[in-house]
Structure 1
Amino acid sequence: MKIDGLSPMERMAYEQNVYAYRDIKNGMDSARREGEAKANMKVARMMKAKGFDVSLISEITGLSEDQIAEL
């Protein structure tokens, strides 16, 4: 889309839509990361309860060994 040919009102509306899209996308990305982190913590807790080695839990979940020790 060429924004050079837009009127000032059209350009303002376009920019507002772009900002709204970015806000929504950032919110969705943040929620996804939070959900993934919670899932990794749950898996780590289960693995720790089953006696898995902390370094293996860290490798699989991406959590640090310190984070796993706190579970």
Structure 2
Amino acid sequence: MREYEASKRAYRDIKNSIDTAKREGKIEGNTETAQRLLAMGLSAEQVAKATLLPLEIIENLRNS
């Protein structure tokens, strides 16, 4: 039973790590897309809608 519980915890740890990496990768990809869209002249509101990133992040990208 202890081996099963340890195995289950290890699986959950690995799954959480993978899920976190996927989310971070998605955000990073959307951030890069947002930068390109801003460079093309789209408004911050349009970029936020297209990338699903919060408007605050888009504004920060524009100002950096």
* Residue in structure 2 matched with residue 16 of structure 1 by the alignment: 6
1:35 aligned onto 2:25: yes
User: 50-59 or 12-21, which moves further after superposition?
Assistant: 50-59
Unaligned 5+ residue runs, structure 2?
none
Provide the TM-score with structure 1 as the length reference: 0.82
User: 13-22 or 55-64, which moves further after superposition?
Assistant: 55-64
* Coordinate RMSD, CA, aligned: 0.7
CA distance in structure 1 between the aligned counterparts of 2:54 and 2:16, rounded to whole angstroms:
25
Q: Identity of aligned pairs, percent? A: 36
- Which residue, out of 50, 60, 63, partners 1:60? 50
**Whose relative contact order is higher, 1 or 2, with alpha carbons under 8 Å and at least 6 apart?**
2
Unaligned 5+ residue runs, structure 1?
1-10
Bigger Cα Rg: 1
CA distance in structure 1 between the aligned counterparts of 2:44 and 2:60, rounded to whole angstroms:
11
Provide the TM-score with structure 2 as the length reference: 0.91
Q: Which has the higher helix share?
A: 2
